Amino acid sequence: MANDMDFNGADSQDAAFDLIPANTLVKIGLTIRPGGAGPEGWLTQSKTSSALYLNTEAIVLEGPYARRRIYTRIGFRGKDAGRSGEDSYANRGRALIRGILESARGIRTADQSEAARAARMIRSLGELSGLDLVAKIGIEKDKDKPEDTGRNVIKAAIGPDHSEYLRLMGAMPTASVHTPAPGYAGGRVVDNPHAGSSTPAGGAAPFWAR
């Protein structure tokens, strides 16, 4: 008991405040933090505009940065959506979501086969919650605060085209049925943050892998 009260040998907190270096590749588990907006409640409404985004939390699963948490907002609809011009905020978000699906489901960017196109489709934004993928980490700074040291965000999702993908993922993903969690389901938040995948009793592949 005496040793439990001696904290001289405990790790210092320095590492807790160090950012993961920009462009580092890590394997992460992704969770959507439902904000109650949108048809199913997965989206979050901006407090300052009409923009909508996915509020995500990622946990680094392996390596020297294991258990570190990364918070990223993925744009879904920009504040100027519906007006003249493209919605660049939403376009960037859609590109990242495509990359997330390709990384989690082992799809190459140039693959336009029927199976690959189906793998890039989801029936609910909740299907993104609980996916494991390879991500490139970036550093985002507050433009209005020059002294801001920044925070880590998901800069890009890395798919099987990258030479480090298989090493970081451990194996090529196989067809499985995803159970989104935690999430907004019928007005309640599901408890299990990484329910992972489950195979149906009949052993059938999910719709995107058929």
Residue pair 53/72 in contact (Cβ under 8 Å)? The answer is no
Of 42, 54, 89, 73, the C-alpha closest to 154 is 73
What is the CB neighbour count within 10 angstroms for residue 160?
19
**Whole-prediction pTM value?**
0.78
Q: Is residue 3 part of a domain?
A: no
Q: Is residue 178 part of a domain?
A: yes
Residue 71 predicted with pLDDT over 90: yes
Name the DSSP class of 91. Answer: H
Q: Is residue 199 part of a domain?
A: no
Q: Is residue 132 part of a domain?
A: yes
- Residue 72 — very low, low, confident or very high, per pLDDT cuts 50/70/90? very high
Q: Average of pLDDT values for 94-119?
A: 97
Q: Is residue 147 part of a domain?
A: yes
> How far is Cα of residue 60 from the mean position of the Cα atoms in its chain?
11
Residue 185 predicted with pLDDT over 70: no
Q: Is residue 165 part of a domain?
A: yes
Residue 89 predicted with pLDDT over 60: yes
User: Residue type at 173?
Assistant: P
| Number of domains within the chain | 1
Residue pair 166/160 in contact (Cβ under 8 Å)? The answer is yes
Structural domain boundaries enclosing 128:
19-191
More confident residue, 1 or 203: 1
The alpha-helical segments, DSSP class H, found in the chain are 14-17, 88-105, 114-119, 165-169
What secondary structure, in 3-state letters, does 160-185 show? CCCCCHHHHHCCCCCCCEECCCCCEE
More confident residue, 152 or 196: 152
- Predicted confidence at residue 146, as pLDDT, reads 85
Name the DSSP class of 15. Answer: H
Instruction: In whole angstroms, give the CA distance from residue 26 to residue 169.
Output: 9
Q: Count Cα neighbours of 125 within 13 Å in the Cβ-side half-sphere.
A: 28
- Tell me the percentage of the chain whose pLDDT exceeds 70: 79
- Predicted confidence at residue 85, as pLDDT, reads 75
Q: Is residue 6 part of a domain?
A: no
Q: Average of pLDDT values for 177-191?
A: 42
More confident residue, 195 or 164: 164
Q: Is residue 86 part of a domain?
A: yes
Q: Average of pLDDT values for 48-60?
A: 95
